[in-house]
Structure 1
Amino acid sequence: MRSIKRIHKAEYRPIADLVTYSPMPTRSLDHLDPFIFLNHHGFQTYPSPNQGLPFGPHPHRGMETVTFILEGDIMHKDSSGHGSVIGPGGVQYMTAGSGLIHAEVSSDKFKIDGGDLEILQLWLNLPADKKMMKPSYVGLQKEEIPTFEIDGGKVKVQQLFGDWGANEGAFKGNFPITMSTIYLEKDGKFEQSIPKDESVFFYIVRGSLNVNGEEINFRNLVEFENNETTISVEATEDSILILGHALPFNEPMVAQGPFVMNTTKQIQEAYADYQAGKFGTWSH
């Protein structure tokens, strides 16, 4: 079994009236190369009417976002001309690359009607030779994402990146990466073999899991050693897990605000380019 190095509890960091927890970066964990940031918004119930999500127009460069919509919705719009409203069970994949401006807000319907909301956003780094690539965006609804069952249907896997057996992921990543959203019923279990030299991203969104013999509750990120390959998971209650793995880049990383680059000079250039309007024009 792959040894558990440390369990990182998500820290409570509300944003306006949005319930938010983050396990990375914290004082105990800066990042797990190339996984660099996670915000877990909700679970909460919004009244009718409400202001919705507070993420108005803002820039990014040098990184990617993977956004998991478990409850509620997100209306995405960016300066490259992409737009969508993605509902429960859907996922958004945005590559900021050389730079764009985007907004992530709630749909007009959600702001009028209210309802349950739970959304997670994970930031992925980009390798140095792809930090200035052309921005892109793909938003998929739940029914557009390949899903398969294991353990007699007790475990349902949404395959997002890479392959799980014969099941191919919905998104084509910009570097080799495997990622799934895994829904487990109580007593559902699986084993996964991950190459020793790859970083593992393992975050429990809901429920409680027995991970390699250790009981771990939701809103915890598990950091593994790079010593063995097998991870064994069994649900002690209905649970949701985000599991990803990729080779680390082992490159210098400088993250400031919405920009993730390799040097401080590149960060300064990003701010200058943004202020000079080089991230595209924003029209409401």
Structure 2
Amino acid sequence: MFLNTVLVVLTDLAARFMGTTLFRRHFHLLLSALVMFGPMLSLWVSHHSIFAKKNHFLYRMFLHSGWGWTCIFVGSFVFLLSFSIRRSLSLSIRHLSRLAVAGGLWLSFCKLLDLLENATGSCYEPLEAGTVVTNGQTLLVLREGESKSECLKAGMLWRGYEVSEDIFLLCLCCLLLVEETAVFGPYLSLGGISDAPLRILFLFCVLLLWLWIFLLLCLLAYFPQFPTQLLGGALGCLSWRGLYQGWYRLGPSWYCPGRPGLGLLNIKAIGNDVEDAQLKQPNHDHCN
């Protein structure tokens, strides 16, 4: 009973905060400010910290599979929320299709960015340590006719026009998490049923959001790369704006999945579900 009370209090506070119009409308501005000014943190952080190593557990476990973690938790939350309200598999699949669209967009941009880097880059071979040094840096010798894969396999350096795919992914995942979970606050305010599994999934989504923000700050502070990180953040924000602020606002149809919560946040429908649940399960936990 105590743990359930703690769960209800935490999820209610988080849902109320993330469901506010102020947070939803200005979160992208906060994220943009982090990307723009985050590299300045490199002046104060210690480069001997465990987060200054790219083989850190958080980077290997979460950053390299960030889209998978986002799909697992957000997809589970969206499916459980939509199916528990309408009991319609087609409606749940329609809402899940937003993740598929965002995933396809992310993969497409990553492929285009990889092609851009290959087309604009060159292979360089560093001279042996201590041979020729200018301003503390070893000089590089250009190697022509090498592809990126061949260059990296040979242990050489590839320099091209880069856009940070990690920053792009983290920004897109953060904005997607905010959009998809923001409907939980209005859902609870309308008297929606709030089982423990749904609340736990929502809480995991909130924790994942803060983890992505933390990893974003770590990358900006410990591995500053201007302007590649700025371009990655801009691409993530533009992708979110094109999807959630543009295409999804056209309304549900065969070519558009619609906005989060559309067709779900209905007072009459939710009220009927609550009444049915009260008749079948008198001790069922729900919020008024």
TM-score of Structure 1 vs Structure 2, range by shorter chain: under 0.3
Q: Who wins on radius of gyration, i.e. which is larger?
A: 2
Identify the structure with bigger relative contact order (alpha carbons < 8 Å, sequence gap 6+). Answer: 2
Greater helix content: 2
